[in-house]
Amino acid sequence: MIDRAGYLERLTKAVGRSPVTALLGPRQCGKTTLARTFAETRSATFLDLESEPDVRRLANPELSLGELDGLVVLDEIQRMPALFSALRVLVDRPASKSKFLILGGASPDIVRGVSESLAGRVEFIELAGFDLTEIGADVWRALWWRGGFPRAYLADTDADSLAWREGFVTTFLERDIPQLGISIPAAAMRRFWTMLAHWHGQTWNASELGRSMGVSDKTVRSYLDLLTGTYMVRQLQPWFENTAKRQVKAPKVYFRDSGLLHALLGLSSDAVLLAHPRVGASWEGFVIEEVIRVMQVNQAWFWAAHGGGEVDLVLMHEGRRIGIEVKFTEAPRVTKAMGRIVQDLSLTHLFVICPTRDPYQVERSISVWPLHRIVDLPARVSSL
């Protein structure tokens, strides 16, 4: 079992200061396992809303939940949106002795009622699959190929991992989406998701994707928003700076799990991945997710200008504006254009992250940084 001490620490702090803590993330990313591990350390009641007896127990939620003390865990809460109003009533009672930990497989934008009913009462923690801080940065290649979903990463063989990921896609399309009350034909959504795999790392163009599928811009936009809200896809928004250049305004689209990307691209092994024309884009998305998680930022952007000039990731850390450029080469070339971008965007530092062995500084504000040292990046940024 992989130790997820960082998330357990965040849960401890959140539950201590908020009446409701929402642990959100994609299905099968380990939310239930993490919640049970956390609940073992305290007096807790665990209710699974995919269990019929537990659902019947909540027929009158204010009464049944109001009688409980300690920590109350509600798993798969998106299946009963009516509970959000009941929770608001319960946590507002002066004599309330309970803290609630709710688990869900969709964002508040998808599950209506979380933000509205529990505004000011809930703290959100987003859980994803394994990352390099949890499994060790030296095995980054296996994580890149298999992805971070626990059953995919921990599978006995690569073939078993791929089979699990393919099954996950089918289950997500045929069961999980309908359970959210969203009526989209599974075949149409699979086609869109597969097409999107070939757009991974590119600027979003609804018109072109809509024409390819024979549907409207609005339809493909709704498909993208659904995949974003269920933590399958990240829409990386553009950063705007007051420069003379005409800047890109559309978001870039990335799969949040590289293993699912490889499954939808039809890749059968990591050797096939290395020979695939989208290997660079796959690597870019993988590194971006790792950086966002290790830096623990809530917002991140990219910057690009029409006609040239681009930074894969722009983020703020302790008041410093940091740029990240991702290269799939052991000896990345640092260009003069990078120096101009540092000046144009007023970056404190630009890091070029790649699969090299050792970090080294190229210029005063530009460094090459190896992926296997990703856990040391926050400390390096803090020292600038």
- Write out residues in the chain with pLDDT < 70, as ranges: 109-113, 115-116, 244
Nearest to 247 by CA among 116, 341, 354, 362: 341
For 123, residues 6+ apart whose C-beta sits below 8 A from its C-beta are 14, 17, 18, 20, 21, 22
Q: Are 69 and 98 in contact (CB under 8 A)?
A: yes
Query: Which tokens in the block code for residue 322?
Result: 């940091």
Q: How far, rounded to the nearest angstrom, does the alpha carbon of residue 369 sit from its chain's CA centroid?
A: 23
CB 86 within 8 A of CB 65: yes
Domain spans of the chain?
5-126, 133-382
The distance in angstroms from the start CA to the end CA of the chain is 36
Q: Is 95 left (phi over 0), alpha (psi -120 to 50) or beta?
A: alpha
The pLDDT value recorded for residue 309 is 85
CB 75 within 8 A of CB 84: no
| C-alpha dihedral sign at 350, 353, 359, 360 | negative
Angle at which helix 206-213 crosses helix 217-229, to 10 degrees, equals 110
Quote the pLDDT of residue 280: 95
Three-class secondary structure of residue 160 per DSSP: helix
SS3 283: helix
Q: How many C-beta atoms surround the C-beta of residue 291 within 10 A?
A: 24
Residue 216 tokens, joined: 């409207």
The pLDDT value given to residue 110: 61
Q: Please say whether the beta carbons of 247 and 305 come within 8 A.
A: yes
Instruction: Kindly give the residue spans of alpha helices, DSSP state H, lying in the chain.
Output: 5-17, 31-39, 52-57, 61-66, 83-91, 114-117, 132-135, 140-146, 150-153, 158-171, 177-179, 186-197, 206-213, 217-229, 258-264, 270-274, 279-295, 336-344, 377-382
Beta strand 320-326 with 310-317 is antiparallel
5-126 carries CATH number 3.30.460.10: no
Provide the whole-model pTM.
0.93
